[in-house]
Amino acid sequence: MAFPEEFSLLLRSRYPILYIPTREEERVEASIAQCAKSLGERSVYIWDFVDGYQGNPNDAGFGKRNPVQALEFIEKLSPTVSAVVILRDFHRFLDDVSVSRKLRNLARALKSQPKNIVILSPQLTIPDDLSEVMTVLEFPLPNPGTIRIEIDRVLSALSQSLDERTLDELVQSCQGLTIDRIRRVLARSIAMHNKLQANDVELILEEKRQTIRQTQILDFYPTTEDITDIGGLDNLKDWLIRRGGSFSAKARQYGLPYPKGLMLVGIQGTGKSLSAKAIAHHWHLPLLRLDVGRLFGGLVGESESRTRQMVQLAEALAPCVLWIDEIDKAFAGADGRGDSGTSSRVFGTFITWMAEKTSPVFVVATANNIQSLPPELLRKGRFDEIFFVGLPSRDERRSIFSVHLTRLRPQALQRYDLDRLAYETPDFSGAEIEQTLIEAMHIGFSQNRDFTTDDILESASQMVPLACTAQDQIAALQAWAASGKARLASKHNSLSDRIQQQMQQPDQE
């Protein structure tokens, strides 16, 4: 049910005290005024601590700096007068015994009168003794339709038009911002360019960063990586590109639900974290990084509260990408033994949200040790797909070398023998290839010259890849993926092919 309908229903039902946690004071007051007008011209009174009551000349300034007197004003209104009384920032006074007692007395009296008290607050803070007399009502952030109307209004004032794709991207990027922030960032764009344009998406994402900086649970991660920066992983890229428009209004009209997310399982250094960053950049969505360790607090109930706060914040900034790096380490001990069940409760809250969420929060989780994850996390419904990211094949290694060398030596790429480099680095991961190039640069720099293919091969010959030092663990992980329990991110994978061949060979002993 939309806010105007639900609010009007509560007014007609004579709910005495409504509590609306919102930072959009101006917009919610305008909506309340419209609802009051639709219910037979109900009077609307607004009070705040500094100016007292406003709007009505006869009552101007009444109750200034006196919250108890503000409540006494409601008692003095005629029992037959229909009214909505808005109290701004009144949450700060609810712990006062006189205010609390007065509110409970009013709640009893207003059950038989056409009056309602509305407390507006940027945060939800209700003392236990008032929980029974207050009803919390959520005021949602602007939906895509409201944002579209605001952008159309600005475009009309500028006598400007935008193509449908650019307009959809602007609307999508504005979701999760208050209407005031949207107006400010649009005004900033107009001040810079005298018009709105597709590049304004980056300005809007900067506004979202301002919101994230106010919390220490999530980090707003900057993204410059693109899909083209990933060497190999063709199956994963195709899957992501196919879902590139899934957050648009056109997709909703088609009937597509928002994609839930994906899990990337595989060997360390194979590009899982890079893929998470590239997804957010390619889809023009903000990337939020969750450090699960920050969810756990020392006080009773604090961890569960932080988990709910994380969910609310992510949904407020939606559409977005929520990146959970190394989720296997975060929830490996979710059985709750040793911490009074805190881990299991946090885990339960998190996976329930993942299964039931309808908001456009795309969760990207990465894991190295799939065996340590609880099985309920892996079932269908939590993630759209589970991809296995293995060691790159020869062609993929060539692509990875090309990506890095194009970035490091864009004018001299032809000097490097990519085919030889790919051939001479079997079982190297993407991270190990990058480190090989860094070591080759040190060799060239120390000799006051540019690094060469031979320098790269020399540094590669001195490096022991993880495929050798952790051969048993990697073989087990590759065998798990080869058994069909995950979708392969690459079309070809060198070590998995080798393991399958070994499994097919008869026992020689």
Residue 495 has pLDDT above 80, yes or no: no
- Domain 3-136 and domain 394-426+430-464 have a common topology: no
Greatest mean pLDDT range, 35-44, 52-61, 364-373, 475-484: 35-44
Residue-range domain boundaries for the chain: 3-136, 144-214, 221-389, 394-426+430-464
Residue 152 has pLDDT above 60, yes or no: yes
Q: Is 78 left (phi over 0), alpha (psi -120 to 50) or beta?
A: beta
Confirm if 38 and 137 have CB atoms less than 8 A apart: no
Q: Collapsing DSSP states into helix, strand and coil, what is residue 233?
A: coil
Confirm if 176 and 141 have CB atoms less than 8 A apart: yes
- CA-to-CA distance for 145 and 504, rounded, in angstroms? 58
Mean pLDDT score of the chain:
85
Percent of the chain with pLDDT over 70: 92
The one-letter code for the residue type at 127 is P
Confirm if 232 and 334 have CB atoms less than 8 A apart: no
Note the pLDDT tens digit of each residue in 154-185.
999 999 999 888 898 888 888 878 899 899 99
Q: What is the CATH number of domain 144-214?
A: 1.10.8
- How is the beta sheet containing 43-48 ordered, strand by strand? 52-54, 43-48, 83-88, 115-121, 17-21, 134-136
Q: What is the CATH number of domain 394-426+430-464?
A: 1.10.8
Confirm if 19 and 124 have CB atoms less than 8 A apart: yes
Q: Collapsing DSSP states into helix, strand and coil, what is residue 262?
A: strand
Bridge-based pairing of strands 52-54 and 43-48 is antiparallel
First to last CA, the chain: 70
Note the pLDDT tens digit of each residue in 303-338.
777 787 788 778 877 888 999 888 887 776 555 555
Q: Which residues have a Cβ under 8 Å from the Cβ of 361 and sit 6 or more positions away?
A: 261, 314, 315, 318, 319, 320, 321, 322
- CA-to-CA distance for 493 and 402, rounded, in angstroms? 18
More confident position, 167 or 202: 167
Residue 222 has pLDDT above 80, yes or no: no
Confirm if 189 and 203 have CB atoms less than 8 A apart: yes
Q: What is the CATH number of domain 3-136?
A: 3.40.50.300
Q: What angle do CA 200, 205, 207 make, to 5 degrees?
A: 100
Q: Please name which of 180, 220, 245 lies closest in space to residue 320, comparing C-alpha atoms.
A: 220
pLDDT at 310: 82
Cα dist from 95 to 104, 106, 137, whole Å: 13, 16, 20
Bridge-based pairing of strands 487-488 and 385-389 is parallel
Q: Which CATH topology does 221-389 take? A: Rossmann fold (3.40.50)
pLDDT at 420: 94
Q: pTM score > 0.75 for this model?
A: no
Residue 285 has pLDDT above 70, yes or no: yes
